[in-house]
Structure 1
């Protein structure tokens, strides 16, 4: 019973950290949008969240290369490093053009997931990593779809349009891995 209560308290605490991080990102994005008035708060928030997500995808994929057991999971991780690494570089260039400073870290929620994965090995790592990638990419697809639909800055919107199919493919790959 104490384990259940402790688990529930931990889950609530993590949810609170994620909500706090998201609120902080939105506040920072609003401030960045004020520095660059041509960039809406929504566009700046998208850039911030996409940067954090991209940094997290690469960091967790590096863990998969190191701690994963399945060759398929390791191939998927290599694909994540290449695709998200390329997107991260493009986002940094876009941020420079928009005169905003993107976040340098993956944020609290992603860091907690990363740390949890770093304590796993072999098949247990593979299962947790694939589940995390599936959930993350499903969230990313929704965020990128919203940006494509509602974004106002043409360059930020074009970035989302360019990488949405990549993220959809990643979600499909993760889903196939999860079924194995």
Structure 2
């Protein structure tokens, strides 16, 4: 198994000229390093790592929305992201512990870049940029959760993803209704 993963990781890293490929490779390598449980698939471990990073980012960005947003809708949405993603993060951390996965301790470089860009904005400019970022993030998250819910190999990880698909669908719908102009 180790030998197959190393070969796959080297092949993935060979394609690292593309930033998206590099991010995917970084996530897969981080998930593999975090994985202690040999019975959990690399794809399930990667999902858990990616979901943990995304959840942390949602909480941080939600706090930023409460501080920098102008519209009450953006501030309320940010508050809801802190609460609901915070709860999901706790459930995911408990699952990671049961599955012997070491969760990431940061939201990751991509999420940090979004945070840094948004942290420079205030008022209506922040509201527009935050709304766009939330639509993109929730579209990406929803796709990952749906994929895991349908194709995950670990029953508990698959069930976690399936439970959160409707929540992410609601978050996406709400983000699409935030002020975008």
Distance 1:21 1:135 in 2: 16
TM-score by length of 1: 0.87
Distance 2:115 2:18 in 1: 17
- What is the Cα deviation at residue 16 of structure 1? 5.4
Which portions of structure 1, spanning 4 or more consecutive aligned residues, are displaced by more than 6 angstroms? none
Q: Which residue of 1 aligns with 2:163?
A: 162
Distance 1:68 1:130 in 2: 10
Give the structure with the larger helix fraction: 1
Q: Which residue of 1 aligns with 2:137?
A: 136
- Count of equivalent residues: 165
Asked if the contact 2:58–2:85 (Cα under 8 Å) also holds between the matched residues in 1, the reply is yes
C-alpha RMSD of matched pairs (Å): 1.6
- What is the Cα deviation at residue 38 of structure 1? 1.4
TM-score by length of 2: 0.86
Q: Which residue of 2 aligns with 1:78?
A: 79
CA gap 1:179/1:117 in 2 versus in 1, 3 angstroms: closer
Asked if the contact 1:21–1:107 (Cα under 8 Å) also holds between the matched residues in 2, the reply is no
Which of 13, 19, 22 does residue 20 from structure 1 map onto? 22
Q: Which residue of 2 aligns with 1:69?
A: 70
The answer to whether residue 91 in structure 2 is matched with residue 90 in structure 1 is yes
Q: Which residue of 2 aligns with 1:102?
A: 103
- What is the Cα deviation at residue 25 of structure 1? 1.4
Task: Tell me the secondary structure at the aligned position of residue 117 of structure 1.
Answer: helix
- What is the Cα deviation at residue 37 of structure 1? 1.5
- In the alignment, structure 2 segments of 5+ residues that lack a partner are 1-16
Distance 1:102 1:29 in 2: 8
Asked if the contact 1:67–1:120 (Cα under 8 Å) also holds between the matched residues in 2, the reply is yes
- In the alignment, structure 1 segments of 5+ residues that lack a partner are 1-14
Asked if the contact 1:69–1:123 (Cα under 8 Å) also holds between the matched residues in 2, the reply is yes
